[in-house]
Amino acid sequence: MAEDLNTEEIHEEDSYALDRETVEPVLVALRDGDSEALIEALEPVHPADIADLLEQVDEDTRLRLVQLYGKEFDGDILSELNESVRESVIEALHPEVLADAVRELDTDDVVDLIEDLDEPQQEIILDALAITDRAAVEQSLSYPEESAGRLMQRELVAAPEHWDVGHLIDHMRAHEDLPDQFYHVILVDPRMRPTGYVTLGKIMASPRTTALSEITEDSFRTIPVTQDEGDVAYAFNQYHLISAPVVDEDDRLVGVITIDDAMIILDEEHEEDILRLAGVGEGSLNDRVSETVRARLPWLAVNLGTAIIASLVIALFEDVIAGFVALAVLMPIVASMGGNAGTQSLTVAVRAIATKDLTSSNVWRVIRREAAVGFINGAVFAIVMGIVGIIWFGSPMLGAVIAAAMVINLMVAGLAGVLVPVVLDKFNVDPALASGTFVTTVTDVVGFFAFLGLAGIVLL
């Protein structure tokens, strides 16, 4: 016990990151090829942390660890590994070890494990399962990808809605095959349609004669089996659900989703949004160089296209620049400020769309607001840059031109920052995915056009 608390404390100090005390003995054991020492070193380490370790070491070390760890390799480690590492680990595992590891897992974890694998690897794992488990996994796989049906577990406890507490307790205690983890009992009508749910805590706290229908939770909601997992996660977060029954198209109970699964999805959706906003489709530090190049190249290619469009705008004003080279020095400032202001607006708008806080009822007010913010910020930096223009280049006219261009571009940035994601969302394109490119194209083009165009009129 005292020992347990000590390891806890070490974990806390550097806040759960893998520390030297954990990693060092593992590496020593690997160097010595000492499988007993390895098993001992990994004994106190959580499977999620072992997975992190496997992700962080290089490929040789990883494969050596998998081989030396042998039969101790746990199914949970596989579940925790990210996709690109998972495939290589599965290949490296002895078929028997793999089969044992997979058989330990709950069927919903198996589904999560194999849905991203290639078919040959899927087959190996399916073959390792008991027949009933295999059937359950295959049925889950029959639901659309990223749907509630893939996420739910089949193990659940349901009771007729007219039962009382005593009846339910006697029933539960008489049954040995209750799921390991459950927090609610789902009430169903005679046609197996969920009508409410009761927490185990309330069941414990209520007299035996209490009708179950009297102690149901307020926050009850059912989830359609085909619902997108992102919406499932949103519902859990918005309505503070702990678990929710999943129903088929006839509203019959087919499974249950619990908050821990919803939390994982919420985390993944956020991760996806962040990476998409940054123009990285998918990606982790463990992907191979070739995978990363393939993932990032298309986004850079799109960016090249928009940069060339901006260059074409500049090319329109080659004569102006030739007559007044200071313009070439200052023009990136206007574009850069517009790009930044646009990114600010679009990020807030993309998040508001994701959290369903930007709807038809407030979109016009939001657009007016962003335009106002852009105008005010533009005015502030117009004054600053006007002064910079005058001091640096001694030209009040140049100061006035950059000031005017700044106001125009920051207002346009605010407008584009909201309009682009809203319009993309209307056309069912993920605004996180594509907004950035559109908005910076707009701010580059408007920025260069306004600055160089005004300069052409005023200065020549």
By beta-carbon proximity to its own copies, the closer residue of 139 and 292 is 292
Interaction with its own copies in 95-124: which residues (CB under 8 A)? none
Tell me how far, at minimum, the Cβ of 414 lies from its own copies, in Å.
10
31 binds its own copies (CB under 8 A): no
Choosing from 97, 349, 403, 415, the residue that interacts with its own copies (CB under 8 A) is 349
> Residue 187 forms beta bridges with which residues?
159, 196
By beta-carbon proximity to its own copies, the closer residue of 122 and 303 is 303
By beta-carbon proximity to its own copies, the closer residue of 124 and 436 is 436
274 binds its own copies (CB under 8 A): yes
By beta-carbon proximity to its own copies, the closer residue of 124 and 441 is 441
Tell me how far, at minimum, the Cβ of 442 lies from its own copies, in Å.
14
CA pseudo-torsion sign 413, 418, 423, 429: positive
Choosing from 202, 401, 408, 420, the residue that interacts with its own copies (CB under 8 A) is 202
By beta-carbon proximity to its own copies, the closer residue of 52 and 90 is 52
Choosing from 253, 337, 407, 420, the residue that interacts with its own copies (CB under 8 A) is 337
Tell me how far, at minimum, the Cβ of 93 lies from its own copies, in Å.
22
Interaction with its own copies in 389-418: which residues (CB under 8 A)? none
Choosing from 10, 28, 135, 322, the residue that interacts with its own copies (CB under 8 A) is 322
Under 8 Å between Cβ of 331 and 400: no
Q: Which stretch binds its own copies (CB under 8 A): 33-41, 89-97, 120-128, 355-363?
A: 355-363
Q: Which stretch binds its own copies (CB under 8 A): 33-41, 63-71, 130-138, 333-341?
A: 333-341
Choosing from 71, 135, 181, 387, the residue that interacts with its own copies (CB under 8 A) is 181
| HEC sequence for the chain | CHHHHHHHHHHHHCCCCCCHHHHHHHHHHHHHCCHHHHHHHHCCCCHHHHHHHHHHCCHHHHHHHHHHHHHHCCHHHHHHCCHHHHHHHHHHCCHHHHHHHHHCCCHHHHHHHHCCCCHHHHHHHHHHCCHHHHHHHHHHHCCCCCEHHHHCECCCCEEECCCEHHHHHHHHHHCCCCCCCCCEEEEECCCCCEEEEEEHHHHHHCCCCCEHHHCCCCCCCCEECCCEHHHHHHHHHHHCCCEEEEECCCCCEEEEEEHHHHHHHHHHHHHHHHHHHCCCCCCCCCCCHHHHHHHHHHHHHHHHHHHHHHHHHHHHCHHHHHHCCHHHHHHHHHHHHHHHHHHHHHHHHHHHHHCCCCCCCCHHHHHHHHHHHHHHHHHHHHHHHHHHHHHHHCCHHHHHHHHHHHHHHHHHHHHHHHHHHHHHHHCCCCHHHHHHHHHHHHHHHHHHHHHHHHHHHHHC
423 binds its own copies (CB under 8 A): no
By beta-carbon proximity to its own copies, the closer residue of 150 and 269 is 269
457 binds its own copies (CB under 8 A): no
Choosing from 141, 167, 299, 397, the residue that interacts with its own copies (CB under 8 A) is 299
Choosing from 121, 122, 139, 237, the residue that interacts with its own copies (CB under 8 A) is 237
Choosing from 34, 35, 37, 56, the residue that interacts with its own copies (CB under 8 A) is 56
Instruction: Give the interface size with its own copies as a residue count (CB under 8 A).
Output: 136
Tell me how far, at minimum, the Cβ of 105 lies from its own copies, in Å.
13
242 binds its own copies (CB under 8 A): yes
By beta-carbon proximity to its own copies, the closer residue of 7 and 458 is 7
Choosing from 29, 102, 125, 330, the residue that interacts with its own copies (CB under 8 A) is 330
